[in-house]
Amino acid sequence: MVNPVLIAPSILSADFARLGEEARAMTEAGADWLHLDIMDGHFVPNITFGPTVVKALRPWSTLPFDTHLMIGPADPYIPAFAEAGADRISFHPEAGPHPHRTVQLIRSLGKAPGVVLSPGTPIAMVEELLGDVDLVLVMTVNPGFGGQSFIESQLDKIARLRALIDKSGRDVRLEIDGGVTSETAPRVIAAGADTLVAGTAAFRGGPGAYAGNIAAIRGKR
């Protein structure tokens, strides 16, 4: 199944002093989703924000909130993020003992579940969940910080996941996060990705540049 390529700017690269305005500017610039990186300083070596900020951002954008939980354990906090306005909630299978139960929890709250594979996480961790998730996110950097360099070895993982998803016959989004630029985007798309998270490349230059940044990542400029 061939899906149109979606661009999901990561709010982690926005100006945190004016997050609401940044979310609105990206919405008006033509983004498809807004990507929210949630980090707890425990599962990953950084701290970002929690459900209160997600709730505060919700009125500023009509776009789906693509919420990536880099927290462990994840389950106790999922209802709060769902209530705050997250539309898609993705988690790392290492963040709890029962990933299928986590998928069920997200689905029970009326949200779209996703599972995340870090660079060192094998595809086997998602195979038994593929029939139940709406999204698989491949990290092409190690989770925790923005602005890292793209890890080349993940291109093969993306291709293998694309084949696995196609074989399943399910409409599962294959999302990529980490080092996505106008240069790396065509390569991950060629490997099979259909949803691209972009931080620095999307937010550089301020609001006046956002539409052009998105177009460049799409390969249309």
Among the listed residues 32, 40, 75, 177, the single catalytic one is: 177
Mean pLDDT taken over the chain: 95
Q: Which fold has domain 6-218?
A: TIM Barrel (3.20.20)
Query: What is the mean predicted confidence (pLDDT) over 177-190?
Result: 94
Query: What is the mean predicted confidence (pLDDT) over 197-220?
Result: 94
| pLDDT surpassing 60 at residue 149 | yes
pTM of the model: 0.95
Confidence of residue 221 (pLDDT cuts 50, 70, 90): low
Confidence of residue 144 (pLDDT cuts 50, 70, 90): confident
% of the chain with per-residue pLDDT over 90: 92
* Closest to 75 in 3D by CA, of 45, 50, 52, 105: 105
Using left for φ > 0, alpha for ψ between -120 and 50, and beta otherwise, residue 85 falls in left
- Confirm if 187 and 166 have CB atoms less than 8 A apart: no
| pLDDT surpassing 60 at residue 1 | no
Give the pLDDT confidence score for residue 66 in this predicted structure.
98
Concerning whether 177 is annotated as a catalytic residue, the answer is yes
Give the pLDDT confidence score for residue 180 in this predicted structure.
93
Binding residues for a divalent metal cation: 35, 37, 68, 177
Binding residues for substrate: 10, 68, 144-147, 177-179, 199-200
* Closest to 32 in 3D by CA, of 3, 2, 65, 81: 65
Among the listed residues 32, 37, 66, 75, the single catalytic one is: 37
Concerning whether 132 is annotated as a catalytic residue, the answer is no
